[in-house]
């Protein structure tokens, strides 16, 4: 069985953050953690090659980087791809997941990765790969690789895969029909009784768990505050210059509004795919209230309106992408000295 291993610049031994712009390259045989995979596989599989790319390079050139990495993977004629493990490294996790997606869609190649349960790559790419649960750091490297190697062997042999809980990978959102000895009503009563008795039980349909974020402290002085506008309502300059998706957005846009007092329909439009955009087309200010904010700015209600507004679409957008948008926009606003932001939706 032929296995290709994808690594970032750090685990490939190229360097740390100073080498995060490392461009895609391939090396024969195992590298770094791949040496442990070689031991785990024994004579059952061979790590025939390693593909390496810096986290920053991949994240900043995702489409081109994926194409180049997939081409390098294909050159080894593999049966299975292993990516990572990425633990809780966000950029690395997204890269591993995106590589797995490319391998699955373009090469029909089964893929295995490993991530911590809060890694954004998990939410984005779990349906494209078998992603095993790992600790948040490389302390769990050997255990993670052991689980990943076992799954890779099963996939390479085309063996039937058991449930996510039984095999140790995160659910991929795939349902399979099978027969139970008792019906759903009886199973539900059994779970309820077990819960009442304080006994362990396992739900058959896990609900997503969302983070609870404590709100920031309120502003103490509006008169000197710098306020920014953000929208998930899809209002962008006419023509959608950043090609933001109408739904399931993976990007956001930043647009200069210095000197702009009104969002006129000849200059701005909503590209959102989740609501009736008629009135947003007549007057984009109903989604991004620039006109009212300028009036309040002139009246001295607050100090200044920030010169850039940020926009994306909310419908269907994954929690992981939305969280990333918030972190990236928040960092930009913090550096610009913005005091608070108004986020408008639909």
> Which of 96-100, 158-162, 258-262 is the least confident region?
158-162
> Which of 212-216, 220-224, 285-289, 297-301 is the least confident region?
212-216
Q: Where do the domains of the chain lie, and which CATH numbers do they carry? A: 2-167 (3.40.50.2300), 222-344 (no CATH)
Q: Is the dihedral of CA 313, 207, 119, 80 positive or negative?
A: negative
> Which of 126-140, 300-314, 315-329 is the least confident region?
315-329
Q: Residue 273 and residue 160: Cα distance in Å, rounded?
A: 39
Place 179 in a pLDDT band, splitting at 50, 70 and 90.
confident
Place 204 in a pLDDT band, splitting at 50, 70 and 90.
confident
Q: Tokens 């995060």 correspond to what residue?
A: 20
Q: Residue 321 and residue 37: Cα distance in Å, rounded?
A: 31
Q: Tokens 């090609």 correspond to what residue?
A: 243
Mean pLDDT of the chain: 92
């Amino acid at each position: 069985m032929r296995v290709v291993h994808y690594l970032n610049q750090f685990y490939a031994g190229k360097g740390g953050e100073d080498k995060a712009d490392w461009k895609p390259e391939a090396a024969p045989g195992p590298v770094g953690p791949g040496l442990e995979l070689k031991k785990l596989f024994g004579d059952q599989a061979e790590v025939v090659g390693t593909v390496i790319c810096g986290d920053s390079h991949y994240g900043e050139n995702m489409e081109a980087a994926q194409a180049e990495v997939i081409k390098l993977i294909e050159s080894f004629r593999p049966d299975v791809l292993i990516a990572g493990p990425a633990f809780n490294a966000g950029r690395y996790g997204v890269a591993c997941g995106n590589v797995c997606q490319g391998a699955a869609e373009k090469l029909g190649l089964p893929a295995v990765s490993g991530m911590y349960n809060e890694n954004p790559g998990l939410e984005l790419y779990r349906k494209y790969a078998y992603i095993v649960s790992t600790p948040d750091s490389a302390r769990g490297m050997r255990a993670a690789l052991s689980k990943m190697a076992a799954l890779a062997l099963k996939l390479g042999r085309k063996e039937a895969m058991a449930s996510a809980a039984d095999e140790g990978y995160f659910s991929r959102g795939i349902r399979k029909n099978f027969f139970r000895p008792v019906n759903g009503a009886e199973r539900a009563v059994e779970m309820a009784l077990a819960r009442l008795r304080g006994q362990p039980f396992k739900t058959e349909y896990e609900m997503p768990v969302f983070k609870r974020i404590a709100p920031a402290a309120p502003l103490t002085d509006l008169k000197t505050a710098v306020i920014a506008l953000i929208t998930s309502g899809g209002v962008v300059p006419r023509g959608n210059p950043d090609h933001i998706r109408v739904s399931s957005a993976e990007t956001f846009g930043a647009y200069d509004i210095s000197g702009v007092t009104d969002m006129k329909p000849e200059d701005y439009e909503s590209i959102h795919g989740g609501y009736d955009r008629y009135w947003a087309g007549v007057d984009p200010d109903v989604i991004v209230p620039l006109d009212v904010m300028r009036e309040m700015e002139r009246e001295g209600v607050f100090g200044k309106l920030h010169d850039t507004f940020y926009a994306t679409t909310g419908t269907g957008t994954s929690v992981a992408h939305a969280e990333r948008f918030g972190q990236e926009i928040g960092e930009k606003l913090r550096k610009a000295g913005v005091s608070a932001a108004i986020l408008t939706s639909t």
